[in-house]
Copies of this chain bind each other. A is one copy, B any other.
Amino acid sequence: MTKTSGTGARKVTRKDVARLAGVSDAVVSYTLNGGPPVAPATAERVREAVRLLGYTPNASARALKLGSARLIAVIVPDSSNPFFAALCQAVEDAARLEGYAVLVVNAEGDRSRTLPYLQSLASRQVDGVLIASPIDESQVAAFNSSGVRWTMLNRSAPIAGTLSVGLDLIEGARVATAHLVGHGYQNIAFIGQARPDDHRYMGWRAALKAAGLDAGPAIFSPFSREGGLAAGRELVALRIRPDAVFVSSDMMAVGVLRAFHEADLAIPGDIAIVSFDGSPESEYSWPPLTTLRQPVDAMGADAVAQLIHPEPGSQGHHRFEGELVIRRSCGC
């Protein structure tokens, strides 16, 4: 879909542009590709010639010549989730300090898309890829053959064959749930993903077990605002209503809050909430949410550093811990 100069016509070259603009080949190249500064009026004349002739720089040849492209990509499962929006922002901020721009690719929770995206990015001279989206561990070898450097971001635990960076979700959920236990709540529910190996579910269970409490009801629902709303309505309808709930993400929690408001429940008077992520959404909900904040800035910066300045042969996992941010929803 790039412009061409018409079927059968001789391809317009940089020489043609230089001739029409009355400048040297080099000046055309400087104007289009960067390089020593070109006087604005001259650059304008070159661009006018480019436009008149319908000249298309040979993009791939140019990429070969330019060498390092100073561009990285980040693959996320859902860029509309404020947590991933904040994580992308952190990656962009860290990359900019190193002189890199960032492309964001949305895998929309479909694991089968990640490898083709990685290969496509590799073929476009992207310098490195952060994968913040879940992958099948069996694909690590294929990822390593893609020809592009990559690092896992948003990993709760190590993964063989690659570097990874992320928050310990088990410990984070344990801390968040233990805070509700400390308030004296006895019947503490869980709202989150329907995956038995979900680390937040495991952390919730661990906190209750350590306190000698029975597990409260666990309600599984999609990882979205709508999913939170449905789970919240299900919780409200229980015959024995829990007095507190741990919700796996702020995005789900705003849906849960809406279900509680609709049922005229006082928060935290009738039911307390602690949530997860610490995204901006948690600060602007009503009431503002007590939440386990993920250190997105530090994790994003660390992942960018691993990607751009890797130590030779480096593998392993960089483990981060969250911080409980106390607001109004827990009863403090």
Interface residues of A (CB under 8 A from B): 1-3, 32-33, 44, 47-48, 50-51, 55-57, 59-64, 66, 68-69, 71, 73, 79-80, 82, 85-86, 88-89, 92, 101-106, 108, 117, 119-120, 122-128, 141-142, 144-145, 147-149, 225, 229, 254-255, 257-258, 261, 280-281, 283-286, 288, 307-308
Whole-angstrom CA separation of A280 from B66 in the bound complex: 42
Asked whether A47 and B142 contact (CB < 8 A) given A2-B148, A123-B62, the answer is: yes
Does the CB pair A141–B47 fall under 8 Å?
A: yes
Whole-angstrom CA separation of A2 from B124 in the bound complex: 11
Name the contact of A60 in the complex, choosing from B64, B106, B117 (C-beta under 8 A). Answer: B64
Whole-angstrom CA separation of A271 from B62 in the bound complex: 59
Stoichiometry, copies per complex:
2
Asked whether A51 and B105 contact (CB < 8 A) given A124-B63, A284-B225, the answer is: no
A and B contact pairs by CB, cutoff 8 A, 13 listed? A2-B127, A32-B145, A59-B124, A59-B125, A63-B124, A69-B124, A71-B120, A80-B88, A80-B280, A104-B105, A225-B280, A225-B283, A254-B284
Q: Which residues of B contact A120 (CB under 8 A)?
A: 69, 71, 101
Closest to A281 in B: B281
Q: Which residues of B contact A126 (CB under 8 A)?
A: 124
Does the CB pair B57–A60 fall under 8 Å?
A: no
Does the CB pair B108–A92 fall under 8 Å?
A: yes
Most chain B beta carbons < 10 A, residue from A71, A102, A124, A126: A124
